[in-house]
Amino acid sequence: MIHFLNLIRWKNLLMIALVQILIKYALLLPFNESQGVTTTLSTFAFIILVIATLCIAAGGYIINDIYDIDTDKVNKPSKVIINKHISEKDGYTYFMLLNVIGVGLGFYLSYLINYSSLFVVFFISSALLYIYSTALKQMFLIGNIVVSIVVALSILVVGIFELIPSMLSINNVANIPFLEIIRDYAIFAFLINLVREVVKDIEDINGDHKVGMQTMPIVLGRDRANKVAFVLSLIPLFAVVYYIITSLFTQQLLVGYFLVFVVAPLIYITIKIFSAEQQSHYKHISLMLKLVMLTGMLSMSLYPFILN
């Protein structure tokens, strides 16, 4: 069981679930009365949304590991699971089963709220993760962008299912500012994950080169890719600072939180990327980016204290 849990990256799945729960119960529900926010999903429907998202994400991790067997033997031999603890055949079975459940639940959820067209979000996410692992991951920057879009979608999907149906049916303009907040968090997740994907490619350059991938550090070389990663790391830093100045400047609690738990770590990360040389440096940077992603998302828990 532990090998299966590691294969589906259970810690990452918990983080996805936590973010979606924060969006509903910290960012949306507390403002049903005070701000006129109208949500669509019942508790049961929301649980379906979370499970569907986690199943598709778990399937994506599995198919990624199946196609990364040769690179992982070089980059992280101690963490190889496919063909070591779980057979490739079983891996494909788990991948198919999780995607059928995830997409199936997505279809049921869309039918449940009478907006069957929204089902396409789950189908696109599932398809993108498969295409990423089988083809796009090997391509210059495209794979990094695609997987970052899927990460952003795991956040946007809550706003899509919770807010858009009520906006379409009763024209509730009160939902728009909260949909924009969710969009901003999704953009933040996209930018942080894009930097992390490039950093991981630099970290994994030896194994990726062995199997003939065309990732950024292989095409440009490690030094040039490192400079690109540095420039990319400045984008979320400047974006967060701009967001603080334009949107949060009157909310001292949020400003203080973002400065300490998001801006300061991002400055630290940019400095570390600029001077990174060894594989261990990139591994540390990758971990720090994941932590910044978490602290950034946890800021949603402060909204009930500052908007009510």
Contacts of 58 by beta carbon, 8 Å cutoff, 6+ apart: 8, 9, 13, 98
Contacts of 108 by beta carbon, 8 Å cutoff, 6+ apart: 48
The pLDDT, as a whole number, for residue 49 is: 97
Q: What angle do CA 85, 90, 95 make, to 5 degrees?
A: 115
Report in angstroms the alpha-carbon separations of 144 from 24, 25, 133, 205, 214: 28, 31, 11, 14, 12
Beta bridge partners of 86: 82
DSSP 53-65: HHHHHHHHHHHHH
The pLDDT, as a whole number, for residue 131 is: 92
Contacts of 268 by beta carbon, 8 Å cutoff, 6+ apart: 288
The pLDDT, as a whole number, for residue 81 is: 87
Q: Cα separation of 8 and 245, whole Å?
A: 39
Q: Cα separation of 306 and 26, whole Å?
A: 11
Alpha helices in the chain (DSSP H): 2-7, 10-22, 43-67, 69-75, 88-112, 120-134, 142-162, 164-170, 175-203, 205-210, 216-220, 222-243, 252-258, 264-275, 279-298, 303-307
The pLDDT, as a whole number, for residue 22 is: 96
Amino acid identity of residue 242, one-letter, is: Y
Per residue in 110-167, pLDDT (tens digit) is 999 998 888 899 999 999 999 988 888 877 889 899 999 999 999 999 999 999 988 8
Low-confidence ranges of the chain (pLDDT < 50): none
The pLDDT, as a whole number, for residue 33 is: 66
Q: What angle do CA 148, 152, 156 make, to 5 degrees?
A: 165
Amino acid identity of residue 27, one-letter, is: L
Evaluated on CA atoms 165, 167, 172, 176, the torsion sign reads positive
Question: SS3 of 82, please?
Answer: strand
Q: Which of 110, 142, 106 is nearest to 125 (CA)?
A: 106
Give yes or no for a contact between 113 and 40, defined as CB atoms under 8 angstroms apart: yes
Give yes or no for a contact between 26 and 181, defined as CB atoms under 8 angstroms apart: no
The pLDDT, as a whole number, for residue 308 is: 58
Report in angstroms the alpha-carbon separations of 112 from 41, 44, 49, 56, 150: 9, 11, 11, 19, 24
This prediction's pTM: 0.93
Q: Cα separation of 213 and 206, whole Å?
A: 10
What are φ and ψ of residue 86, in 5° steps? Answer: -130, 130
Question: SS3 of 249, please?
Answer: coil
Structure tokens at 298: 């946890």
Per residue in 233-246, pLDDT (tens digit) is 999 999 999 999 98
E runs forming strands in 44-155: none
Q: What angle do CA 196, 160, 150 make, to 5 degrees?
A: 25
Q: Cα separation of 22 and 292, whole Å?
A: 16
